[in-house]
Structure 1
Amino acid sequence: MHLHLVDGERLPLGGVAAVVDLGGDPAILADRAAGSLPHVTYAGAFLTTLGGYPAGREWAPPAIVRQITDASPQIGRPGGAATAVDEQRLAGASVIKIVLHHERPLPEDALATIVDTAHAAGLPVVAHVEGEGMTRRALDAGVDALAHTPFSERLDAALIARAAAAQVWISTLDIHRDDDHGAGIARENLRAFRATGGRVVYGTDLGNGDLPLGVNPRELRALLAAGCDAAALVAALTDPWPGTGSLPGVRTFLRGRPPRRSDGAVDPDALADWLSSASVLPTEDLLPTLDDEGDNADSEDRDDGHP
Structure 2
Amino acid sequence: MLTAAWPVRRASGELGTSLPAFIDHHVHTHLIDAHLLPTRGIAGVVDLGGDPAALARGVTGLPRVRFAGAFLTVPGGYPSGRTWAPDRVVHTVSNASVHPGVPGGARTAVDAQADAGAAVIKVAMNADAGPVPSDDVLTALLAAARERGLPVVAHAQGAGQVERAIDAGVAALAHTPSDTGLSRRTLRRAAETGQIWISTLDIHRGPARERAISHLRAFADRGGRVLYGTDLGNGSLPLGVNRRELLALHQAGIRGDALVASLTDPWPAPARTDAVRSFVEGPAPTDPTDLATWLSRAIVVPTEELTRVD
| Normalised TM-score (structure 2) | 0.88
Shift of 1:182: 0.7
Shift of 1:249: 0.9
Shift of 1:107: 1.3
- 5+ residue gaps, structure 2: 1-26
Question: Equivalences for 1:123-202 in 2 at 5 Å?
Answer: 123-166=150-193, 167-176=195-204, 179-202=205-228
3-state SS, counterpart of residue 58 of structure 2:
helix
User: What's the counterpart of residue 212 of structure 1?
Assistant: 238
Structure 2 residue 102 is the aligned partner of structure 1 residue 77: yes
Further displaced range: 180-189 or 201-210: 180-189
Partners of 1:250 and 1:183 in 2: how far apart?
A: 33
Give the counterpart of 1:19 among 45, 56, 62: 45
3-state SS, counterpart of residue 56 of structure 1:
coil
Give the counterpart of 1:221 among 234, 238, 247: 247
Change in Cα spacing, 1:287 to 1:223, as seen in structure 2 (3 Å) is closer
| RMSD over aligned Cα atoms | 1.3
Q: Deviations over 1:142-199 (max 9, x none)?
A: 10000000012342122111101220000000000xx311111101110000000000
Partners of 1:204 and 1:2 in 2: how far apart?
A: 10
2:48 and 2:122 in contact (8 A); partners too: yes
Partners of 1:155 and 1:230 in 2: how far apart?
A: 27
Partners of 1:267 and 1:162 in 2: how far apart?
A: 29
Aligned residues: 281
3-state SS, counterpart of residue 19 of structure 1:
strand
Q: Considering fraction of residues, name the structure with more strand.
A: 2
Change in Cα spacing, 1:187 to 1:287, as seen in structure 2 (3 Å) is closer
User: What's the counterpart of residue 106 of structure 1?
Assistant: 133
Give the fraction of aligned pairs with identical amino acids, expressed as a percent: 53
User: What's the counterpart of residue 49 of structure 1?
Assistant: 74
User: What's the counterpart of residue 279 of structure 1?
Assistant: 299
Q: Which has the higher contact order (CA 8 A, sep 6+)?
A: 2
User: What's the counterpart of residue 20 of structure 2?
Assistant: none
2:68 and 2:120 in contact (8 A); partners too: yes
Partners of 1:244 and 1:31 in 2: how far apart?
A: 18
Structure 2 residue 252 is the aligned partner of structure 1 residue 232: no
Structure 2 residue 137 is the aligned partner of structure 1 residue 117: no
User: What's the counterpart of residue 88 of structure 1?
Assistant: 113
Partners of 1:36 and 1:121 in 2: how far apart?
A: 27
Give the counterpart of 1:38 among 53, 63, 77: 63
Partners of 2:147 and 2:184 in 1: how far apart?
A: 31
1:55 and 1:62 in contact (8 A); partners too: yes
Structure 2 residue 55 is the aligned partner of structure 1 residue 29: yes
User: What's the counterpart of residue 3 of structure 1?
Assistant: 29
Q: Deviations over 1:78-129 (max 9, x none)?
A: 1111100001010000000001111311111111100011012110000001
Change in Cα spacing, 1:287 to 1:234, as seen in structure 2 (3 Å) is closer
Partners of 2:75 and 2:265 in 1: how far apart?
A: 34
Change in Cα spacing, 1:12 to 1:245, as seen in structure 2 (3 Å) is closer
